[in-house]
Amino acid sequence: MTTTFSYTHLFSFTEAVFRSMGCPAADATLATETLLSADLRGIDSHGVARLIGYVRLWEAGRINPTPRVGVTYETPSTAVVDGDGGLGLVVGPKAMDVALEKARQVGTGWVSVKNSNHFGIAGYHAMKALAHDMIGLAMTNASPLVAPTYSLERLLGTNPIAVAVPAGEQPDFVLDMATTTAANGKLEIAQRKQLPIPEGWAQDATGAGSSDANAVKNGGALLPLGGATGSHKGYGLGAVVDIFSAVLSGANYGPWVPPFVAFLQPSANPVGQGLGHFFGAMRVDAFRPADEFKAHMDNWITTFRGAQAVPGQQVLIPGDPERETSAQRLLDGIPLLEPVVRDLEMLGAKFGVKF
């Protein structure tokens, strides 16, 4: 059962909740835009459904609503940004802006972030580069819910990677993917719907494959991208994200990454500060003229989209489904599951904000 709400309604409500947490007006607006970009693009697990999780972290003293986000170390093309314990929804865009400015000045910009929190969908941050004729890269480490290949221990997060590439007449190329077979948010959706999950998404506490949406909650783990014969590839990608995001910046990595849920405490012996992110921006004209590049991107996209497909299917370009969903939801509204609606109504009552 779902109920549909307009984007503007959810925006005003979410912004008011962030203001009630003590976020300055500009940060509340930025956090709301970042968070709801997930709902617009159909990534329902990372959108307004997570608002209550941010509130609970704030109540537990694990989110600073008024962070002083700043650069602690830099070269002309690189920087480390300290998020001061702020919302990743705010820290992430500000750090990406640092990468964009460095790319504007010297061609490329690379920023590793420490002392942050969950930053929403990676695609939002990478796509900030598109308006500047730049290629954007975004990644983040996350709560340890993933077992490396052959492991019973949960040592990595879903650790997503996003890459956004500008095109000309064609829609931009936007890859946004977890390095696991499925993101934990998809398990959360299955739990709310009381549905099983596909084989290959998770293992139980003994290491056996499981179709139980609660397998991870019950001591199991998410599985790296690649399945039974290729999970070492997803494991490797997730490891790279962890290293770039945290070992490079001074954030927590591996099993020390603090959990998103407030009822689980961070490690008593952290190896760094908060969560870590990594951002990159590359000016296209640092490699070839931007118009020339985008014309060839158009050719690349039309070639792949026009590939002969198996019967009943269509070859898609990364970003196609999300772009179409965004256009539809801006017109028709965003559907929310009833448990999410109840959570938002509860938040409204808590803060005196009408939902």
Contact 39, 103 (CB under 8 A): no
pLDDT computed for residue 76 by the predictor: 98
pLDDT computed for residue 189 by the predictor: 83
54 and 154 in a single domain? The answer is: yes
Q: Could you tell me if residue 342 is inside a domain?
A: no
3-state helix, strand and coil shares in percent for the chain, rounded to the nearest 5: 45, 20, 40
pLDDT computed for residue 203 by the predictor: 95
Contacts of 29 (CB under 8 A, 6+ apart): 15
pLDDT computed for residue 343 by the predictor: 97
The separation between the first and the last C-alpha atoms of the chain, rounded to the nearest angstrom, is 18
145 and 190 in a single domain? The answer is: no
203 and 86 in a single domain? The answer is: no
Tell me, what CATH number does 48's domain have? Answer: 3.30.1370.60
Q: Which domain holds residue 204?
A: 182-222
Alpha helices in 41-196 (DSSP H): 51-59, 88-106, 122-127, 184-193
Tell me, what CATH number does 191's domain have? Answer: 3.30.60.50
Q: Could you tell me if residue 271 is inside a domain?
A: yes
Element spanning 291, H or E: helix 290-305
191 and 100 in a single domain? The answer is: no
pLDDT computed for residue 28 by the predictor: 98
Q: What is the pLDDT along the chain (355 residues), one digit of tens a residue?
A: 899 999 999 999 999 999 999 999 999 999 999 999 999 999 999 999 999 999 999 999 999 999 999 999 999 999 999 999 999 999 999 999 999 999 999 999 999 999 999 999 999 999 999 999 999 999 999 999 999 999 999 999 999 999 999 999 999 999 999 999 988 878 888 988 889 999 899 999 999 999 999 999 999 999 999 988 999 999 999 999 999 999 999 999 999 999 998 888 999 999 999 999 999 999 999 999 999 999 999 999 999 999 999 999 999 999 999 999 999 999 999 999 999 999 999 999 999 999 9
Question: How many domains is the chain built from?
Answer: 2
pLDDT computed for residue 193 by the predictor: 86
Token pair of 145, please? 């819910």
pLDDT computed for residue 258 by the predictor: 96
Rounded to an integer, what distance in angstroms lies between the CA atom of residue 210 and that of residue 156?
A: 19
pLDDT computed for residue 183 by the predictor: 81
Task: Give the DSSP letter of residue 200.
Answer: T
